[in-house]
Structures are given as C-alpha cells and as structure tokens.
Amino acid sequence: MDRSVIPPYILDRIIGHGSERQRASARGTLSHVQALRQNPGAPQLAKPQTASESAAPGQPNRSIHDAEQQMQLPGVLRRREGQDDSGDAAVDEAYTALGATYAFFWDVFGRHSMDGQGFPLIGTVHYGKAYENAFWNGEQMVFGDGDGEIFNRFTVALEVVAHELAHGVIESEAALVYVNQSGALNESVSDVFGILTKQYALKQTVQQADWLIGAGLLTDAVNGRALRSMSAPGSAYDDPLLGKDPQPGHMREFVETRDDNGGVHINSGIPNRAFYLAAMAMGGYAWEKAGQIWYDTLCDARLANDAQFLDFAQLCVDNAAQRFGKASAEVLAVARAWKEVGVGVES
C-alpha cells in the first residue's frame, strides 16, 4: 500500500509535455506508483523488517538508508538514531525531518510515533534514478532524488515528510479509505499534520506561515511555489509544462473523476481550506487549537473509515465543543470555516 506525494495527474502532464528525459523519468515513476497501488491491501501499519527494539517514550527511533539509485528497500544503512551527520544532504535531511515529525506528535499530542507505541522511523533516500516522488509504503518512507529539472530531491520539504508519516497515523487511528471523499480527507488530514509540523518546527503563527505543501520541491525552471496551497487551493503552480493547479477550494468546484483514486489529491483542497480558515480565525499557533480539534476528530471512534466531508466536518464541530465548550468562539470558527467551503454543519 502506497501513499505518494506527487499526484498521477502531474506525472501525466510531464509525460505529455516534457522533454525526452523528463518524459522518461515521469513514465518510470508513474508506472512504479501504479504497480504499488494495484494490491493496496487493508490499510494498516506493517511491522518494519529492520525494526530494532522500541525507543523509550519521547525518543524517536530513526534509521536512514541509501538505495544507491536502485529500487530495493531498505538499502544500505547510512545513519541511525543518535549518530552525527553523514555528509549526504538527503540522508541528513531525512533524518532531521523524521525527528521533527516525531517531536511534533510527541510534544503536541503526546503520541509516541505513528502507532503511539514507538513505531521505528525508517527512511530510504536516493531511490531509483531521477525518481520523481516520495511515498509511505506502510513500513517506511522512501524518497526519490527528482530529475533536477522539474523536481528537486524530495527530502527538502519537511511538510512533505511529515505528510507521508501522517498517513501512518491515519492508518493507525481511522484507516480512511483511500478513494473519493474519504481518500481526499486522508490526503487533507496528512496535509494538515504536515503543515503543522513545519509551523511547529519554525515556531510560526498562522499569520507567519506560508501554508504551502511541497515548498522548495519545484525547481526555479517551474512557474510555481509548491505542490499545493492550503490557503488558496488552485494557486500553487501555473506552468506551461505542469499545467495549472487543479485543486478546488469549495464544494461547488468539486471534481468528479475516476483518476487519482477519485480525485484524492485534487478535492483535498476543500477540507484543506476549511482547516486554514479555522486556524486563521482562532489565531496564534495553529497546533494549539485547530490542530487539537482535527487530531481529536481523527481519533474519534465515531469517524467511519468511509467518512464524507460532511461527516468529518460535523465531528470537528463536536470535538471543538467538547474541548472548548459549546458556546465557544472555537466552535463558531470551525463551523464557519466548513460552511465557507460549502460543507454545511450544525454548530
């Protein structure tokens, strides 16, 4: 089972409009992603083959491997928990990002890794040749180097690493089915925790944050800022090669498609904007209020694995009421945020 950061529609655009080298890289990446998705199985955290004994609560257990441009996992061990920098930028970026993600979930939610029980954080870098993606396979993180023309190496964006690890948290808590609206929620909640991890690491308020997913992934040759914008879905890029960012920010623009598992990477823009609006209305640090509400909702036993946007939105309002009080400004902010993106809820 795979959750990859680059949507298939972007790879399709490159295959249709890129240079010979760019098309070859995108074609190889897309065929690999499709192969991974053919037999996804039940969404669950696998037991890593390379796992060592669990770390104590509050301590991550990281190991970073080098695939040496092959497609075999996990690869050669380059750095394990507590060791100094390796000198390889991708190895050290992955190590730092896994640590920052662990620190966010532990410090903010008291969660001991993805499963809450010290799940080892395993990463592999230099995966494949000019591989244009990063993905979570149920056992570990995997990072390509990009082609250097459209995409930089996939370890440069902390929020992308945190996004992929958040898929593991979702699998452990709610197992949101990766198709249609529940799949778009899966992607959105991963974006939420990805952006919160970056904001927490940088100690940014909601006003200071860029609200971009994949900032730095696109090279200077591309007319774009990131893969997605949570504040303004549809505005992350507009490029002759990649096309225009297709994400909607309101239900009236909801995309009906069979591609991309029913548009999981496209329609996630709607709940993404709802979170952004709620966080902005509450102000301060997003992880202190809005982030807590979204985490409570993810862990809510009432959240079905095939939840629709309206189901999730109503639980957000309920959890805001439980945490801050039924008549609180937080409840009003959450209800208004969802209504503003076309998902009407009762407050």
Domain of residue 233, CATH code: 1.10.390.10
d(CA 149, CA 214): 16
Is 149 in the same domain as 208? no
Decide if pLDDT at 14 tops 50: yes
Asked whether residue 266 falls in the same domain as residue 248, the answer is yes
Do 275 and 336 share a domain, yes or no?
yes
Burial level of 35, CB count in 10 A (0-12/13-18/19+)?
exposed
Tell me: the pLDDT tens digits for 120-154? 999 999 999 999 999 888 889 999 999 999 999 99
Tokens of 57: 């609560």
Rounded to whole angstroms, how far apart are CA atoms 205 and 168? Answer: 26
Is residue 193 one of the residues assigned to a domain?
yes
Extract the tokens encoding 95. 């190590």
Sequence-distant (6+) residues with CB within 8 A of 110 are: none
Residue finishing a domain among 145, 173, 201 = 173
Q: Do the domain assignments include residue 126?
A: yes
Least confident of 1-15, 109-123, 206-220: 1-15
Tell me the mean pLDDT in the region 102-128: 96
Residue 49: predicted pLDDT: 47
Q: What's the token pair of residue 147?
A: 């082609």
Asked whether residue 225 falls in the same domain as residue 157, the answer is no
Q: Give domain status of residue 345, yes or no.
A: no
Of 172, 191, 189, nearest to 297 (Cα)? 189
Residues 57 and 112 sit within 8 Å (Cβ to Cβ): yes
Residue 163 and residue 68 in one domain? yes
For this structure, is 164 an active site residue? yes
Are 164 and 268 within one domain? no
- Do 332 and 226 fall within a single domain? yes
Assess if residue 246 is contained within a domain.
Answer: yes
Nearest alpha-carbon partner for 4 in 104, 144, 102, 125: 144
User: Could you read off the pLDDT of 244-287 as tens digits, one per residue?
Assistant: 999 999 999 999 999 889 999 999 999 999 999 999 999 999 99
CA distance 83 to 61: 11
Contacts of residue 327, Cβ cutoff 8 Å, sequence gap at least 6: none
Q: Are residues 127 and 164 in the same domain?
A: yes
| Band of pLDDT at residue 239, cut at 50, 70 and 90 | very high
> Do 199 and 146 lie in a common domain?
no
Q: Flag whether 346 is in a domain.
A: no
Given a contact cutoff of 8 angstroms between Cβ atoms, the answer to whether 154 and 133 are in contact is yes
What distance in Å separates the CA atoms of residue 183 and residue 296, rounded to the nearest whole number? 19
Task: Choose the catalytic residue: 139, 164, 173, 187.
Answer: 164
User: Of the residues 141, 173, 205, which one is the last residue of a structural domain?
Assistant: 173
Would residue 163 show up in a list of annotated catalytic residues for this protein? no
Shared domain for 154 and 217, answered yes or no, is no
Q: Which domain holds residue 118?
A: 3-173
User: What's this model's pTM, rounded to 2 decimal places?
Assistant: 0.94
Co-location of 28 and 128 in the same domain: yes
Domain with 83 in it: what CATH number? Answer: 3.10.170.10
Structural domains of the chain, count: 2
Catalytic annotation, pick one of 126, 171, 265, 330: 265
> Among the three residues 156, 173, 190, which one is the final residue of a domain in this structure?
173
Q: DSSP letter at 84?
A: P
The answer to whether residue 347 sits within a structural domain is no
